[in-house]
Structure 1
Amino acid sequence: MKSVFKREICTTCLKLSEAFICRGCQQPFCARHVNRHQEKITKDMNSLVTKCDRLRDDSKSEKFAQQLLSNIDRWEKESIEKIRLAAQTARTDLRPWIERTKNELEIPFQKMMDELQTRRKLQDYTEIDLKRWSSQLAEFNEKLKQRPVIEYLDYDDTQAIHLIRIIDRSSFNSSCSTNFTYSFSERSLNNSEESPTLERETFGEIFGAINLSENDHVATYSGPWIGDASVCGTNTYSTGVHHIRFRITEKFYNAPFFGISAASQPMIEHMSASPSTNGWSNFDFPVVSGIEERVGKDRIIRAGDTVALTLDCDRRQIFLRHIRTNRLSQLPIDIRICPFPWKLLIILRRRGDCVRLLGGSVGLTTAEVVSILPDHLKSR
């Protein structure tokens, strides 16, 4: 810090004295405070160097590539293990049929054929024998039609092997930005490709009458005819953009609540009224800080529908996407009331209501979310 000597009021203590004028900020400092100012400049310089060093380390492609390769290797091993277990289960299930077929079809059929060939050579048969052999042959044909087939399951997402791919984020925004249009409280979603990751969400802590099944991927209301029961996810979310899909397996009248609450919020009887709760009771019925707000009258969520909940932690907002109608709704989150980390929250309301968690993935980056928002929302 090069300075010149002059009588001025010190910027720090506001006293008139012989002062040094900083050539950088052009502010006067007395002899007592000029050293502190120099120390601050030095500290700021060191901080800048530290940030540069950190960015240099983060920008090393080898380190980042190694992390991605490690994730790919882990996905490959998990997928191979799933295939191995499924194949072994199929082989085990097939063995009883092989034994049963041998005892009920192959041996009796060979016995009939031996008798038929012998009687044919001897020309020792009548219409009664032909009728009996024809009847036996028809019976064997029916048993043959009952042999097992391989069924390819495309509805059990908890056991599915999700394909992965690498997306270059620098070229993604230009192709994604034309896929969205916006109206007052919802967007019409034309195209959105989901990018599965290895992190999977499951249901965890519950409050009320909810049964969990299928490796904690299915939540079913099991209480009285009507009432609230809540279940939260096992993951917590503080950074990034996370994409979680659900299927409403059964719904009597009101749709399940889909949303979030603060992870620090204990599970209570009426979670929908908790100040840290944000989400949707139905598509046009958002819940903001525990208060339901009606922005329309559409109850579009039906049994069998699939919805996707997006948690944009970086911009402090959440989205609900309704797949069948291609509609998207957005809620800003007040982190003073709903602080990080967040947790997934589902509320079921009627007996038999059932939600299947199809899995979680990082489907959008912050830059991608910004690119699809209208200009008047980007400043939020």
Structure 2
Amino acid sequence: MINASEQLCSKCSKANATSICIGCKQIFCPEDSISHRQDLSNEFDAVINKHDLLHQQFEKQDNDATTHPIMDKVNQWEKETIAKIKQEAHKAHYELQQLFTRCNEELGQKLRRITKELCTAKDKQDYLETHLCKWLDALEALQNELTTPSDFKVHIKAMSINVTLMPIEKFDRVCGDIRLEQNELAVVHGAMNSHAEVRGACLYLHGIHHIKIKIEKMLKDHWMFFGIISSTAEMDEKSYLTQSAYGWA
């Protein structure tokens, strides 16, 4: 019969249990106490092995991040992003080329017009200092447009780029007693009491366009005509009577 004061071994159930494990709170006999300690030692070795494996994996990953699984997602994102950027860049190149072609055509028209005026003036020997100043200013303006065009605007966002043409309207050709000032942004009528014409530099084919014009001074009983006219129409002091002219006074 087992004495009530005797403790049973938690492993073999013998009545000679003498050791208590303060970790698991179990009671063991001397033989199983040694065995239990050996089991703890084996479990500790397993923890050490797991630690060593994790440490090796950590060092390998730290030295070579390309082996990390998430790097595949980053690489895929990189490929897709580069493809989108190349697509947007190709689109921007095409649009920019189209705009350059259009602007060069307009510059060519302006240059051919000046060439015609110079040839006519040379053949007829019909030119004054005012004509020379006007031609020099026009050539200087064309030179600036050719070397440093200010009409282009580029909008760059995270994944897109847009190239647009921002036309800067200025006064261009004149006919009659009229002159251009302030870098072709202002028009001044001379002292002669006669009609005169001035046209803008930009050409418009379709759409809605907003142009601001400020009248700083106009004599009493005088009037102005604002309108549109075909670009092929000849300059004339009374161009408002031209068939293609349309506007209001």
TM-score by length of structure 1 reads 0.27
Q: RCO greater where, 1 or 2, for CA within 8 Å and sep 6 or more?
A: 1
TM-score by length of structure 2 reads 0.38
- Would you tell me which structure has more helix in proportion to its own residues? 2
- Would you tell me which structure has more strand in proportion to its own residues? 1
Q: Kindly name which structure, 1 or 2, has the bigger radius of gyration based on alpha carbons.
A: 2
